[in-house]
Structure 1
Amino acid sequence: MNAPHKPAPLEDVQSSRDVRNIAINKVGIKSLRHPVKVADRADGVQHTVAGFDMYVYLPEHYKGTHMSRFVQLLNSHEQAISVASFEQMAREMVGKLEAESGYIEMRFPFFMNKTAPVSGVQSLMDYDVSLIGEIRQGVFTQTIKVVVAATSLCPCSKKISEYGAHNQRSHVTITAQVNDRVWLEELIRVAEEEASCEVYGILKRPDEKYVTEQAYDNPKFVEDFIRDVAARLNGDPRIDRYVVEVENFESIHNHSAYALIEHDKRTA
């Protein structure tokens, strides 16, 4: 009987030499959705679906990178992904891809259970969150981004009106580069606590009265709001650099009010 035919090894085209002598800063996969478990402070873990961007640096002498290894990396991480474990994941990626630098961004909805201020009824609030990890020359940097809905009430409207004041829903975006563990919930609470009032998934009539009056008693311009958030971040030694954005979706104008503060505490 003839021995079974052994197929010839397939050529690794990606690792072949490229003659154009041009390096690529980022190459990889973008917008890959993958089920993940995310560590949270209250309940331990949340099951969600995240969108991933994963890139590495490609030297000028390589023709391509091995795209399948990015997906293999995600499939190997069945444990809960957290701010604390994201560095390990990024370092595994550059190791598998034999790269000197790499970038991972993970975007996902994050949920917190909130309790209404008077009735005590509980409801879930969702937040858009991103974890970003980057390795350059062996140094890892980590960035957390949260987008938080809140209420703001106009001080000018309150001052000049005989009764009432206009308010609006606001989006607060905090993008923080951290040097130590910072829970997602902590950044979310900074934005909510510095608003004129928080927003909730469910409010009963007594709760609605409470939040309306709380906002009225705590008016803030967009400038006040963003400065109060920035002051909180300035006082947190775990945060090296941040960008805060506040957008008020005006209720009496057909435009938004907007403010941005960017600060690197290491160069201050």
Structure 2
Amino acid sequence: MTTTCNLPDTQNNADTRQIVIDKVGIKDISHPIIYIDRDGNKNPTVGNFTMTVTLPKQVKGTHMSRFIEILNAGPCEFNVGNFGRIIDKVHAKLDTDRVHVAVDFPFFRNKKAPSSGVESLMDYQVTLYGVLSEGKTEVMVKVVVPVTSLCPCSKSISKYGAHNQRSHITIKARIAEGKSLHIEDLIDLAEEKASCELYAILKREDEKVVTERAYDNPAFVEDLVRDIAVGLNVNDNIDYYRLESENFESIHNHSAYAVIENEKC
């Protein structure tokens, strides 16, 4: 009978082509996670992971199963501040100098409608990125925040209202060394600067409130990114960000789009 110790470990063989592989590992693996929010609450959701390492030129292959073992080694529980622990585990288990780990997941917040107070869950798409290189770990977070924007030009020239659209604010931020950041901080900033935030459930009285709120707070796509950038610029927990707004126009067959990128350090 063949035992494990008698089986060849082919990926540990030497490779003669002398070519470094920048990233090799697993992609698109779903795994249950627990995300710890700003208030310390544990939020179960499902993450989609990509986990890779750099493969030295003399090594034939990496150990693919070890990535899965890391995810299955216990509760996959983290927040932005301690996401680096997963990178450290990959580094230790695969004995490599460079690690990349990314996970996408839906993050849910309970929101109350502005007038009726009815509660509903609002979802936001989040991505965490972790990189270990030359002994240093960096973590970045990306969140997509859907909001309402109302056109200031349309408001100024129209008798009976103004056209508005749903917009996606995308904030990708790198955490400054020794600092931490909460997803909710980025969501709050984006929703605060929009013409109006979105809700999953609205009663008639709520529809009146959000419609009038958007009308009272018109914003071009340029206004959205500039106003949010002001908040990101004074946030000492962030040393780099890329900020995008895509407004899905309601009277055009195209989107309005704006980007601000700032390497703060």
CA distance in 1, matches of 2:224, 2:124: 19
Greater alpha carbon shift after TM alignment, 9-18 vs 216-225? 9-18
CA distance in 1, matches of 2:2, 2:189: 66
One-letter code of the match for 1:119? S
Q: Normalising by structure 2, report the TM-score.
A: 0.96
3-state SS in 2 of match to 1:119? coil
One-letter code of the match for 1:69? R
One-letter code of the match for 1:208? E
Please name the residue that 1:83 is paired with.
80
Q: What are the Cα deviations for residues 99-148 of structure 1, in whole angstroms up to 9, with x where unaligned? A: 00100001001000011111111110001001110001111100000001
CA distance in 2, matches of 1:15, 1:5: 20
CA distance in 2, matches of 1:125, 1:224: 24
Once the two structures are superposed, the pairs formed by residues 55-70 of structure 1 within 5 Å of their partners are 55-70=52-67
The structural deviation recorded for 1:79 is 4.9
3-state SS in 1 of match to 2:258? strand
CA distance in 2, matches of 1:111, 1:134: 26
Please name the residue that 1:110 is paired with.
107
Q: What are the Cα deviations for residues 187-209 of structure 1, in whole angstroms up to 9, with x where unaligned? A: 11111111000010111111111
1:92 to 74, 89, 92: 89
CA distance in 2, matches of 1:160, 1:32: 51
The structural deviation recorded for 1:77 is 3.7
One-letter code of the match for 1:28? G
Please name the residue that 1:188 is paired with.
187
Assess if the C-alpha contact under 8 Å between 2:31 and 2:48 holds in 1: yes
Once the two structures are superposed, the pairs formed by residues 70-219 of structure 1 within 5 Å of their partners are 70-179=67-176, 180-219=179-218
CA distance in 2, matches of 1:243, 1:217: 28
Greater alpha carbon shift after TM alignment, 57-66 vs 174-183? 174-183
The structural deviation recorded for 1:9 is 2.1
State the identity %. 52
Please name the residue that 2:44 is paired with.
47
CA distance in 2, matches of 1:218, 1:7: 67
The structural deviation recorded for 1:10 is 1.7
The structural deviation recorded for 1:11 is 1.8
Output the aligned Cα RMSD.
1.4
Please identify runs of 4+ aligned residues in structure 1 that moved more than 3 A. 4-8
Please name the residue that 1:230 is paired with.
229
- The structure-2 alpha-carbon separation of the partners of 1:94 and 1:48, relative to structure 1 and needing over 3 Å to count, comes to same
3-state SS in 2 of match to 1:164? coil
Q: Normalising by structure 1, report the TM-score.
A: 0.95
Assess if the C-alpha contact under 8 Å between 2:32 and 2:76 holds in 1: no
CA distance in 1, matches of 2:206, 2:241: 33
CA distance in 1, matches of 2:78, 2:239: 22
One-letter code of the match for 2:253? N
One-letter code of the match for 1:129? V
Q: Which has the larger radius of gyration?
A: 1
Aligned length: 263
Once the two structures are superposed, the pairs formed by residues 16-31 of structure 1 within 5 Å of their partners are 16-31=13-28
- The structure-2 alpha-carbon separation of the partners of 1:169 and 1:5, relative to structure 1 and needing over 3 Å to count, comes to closer
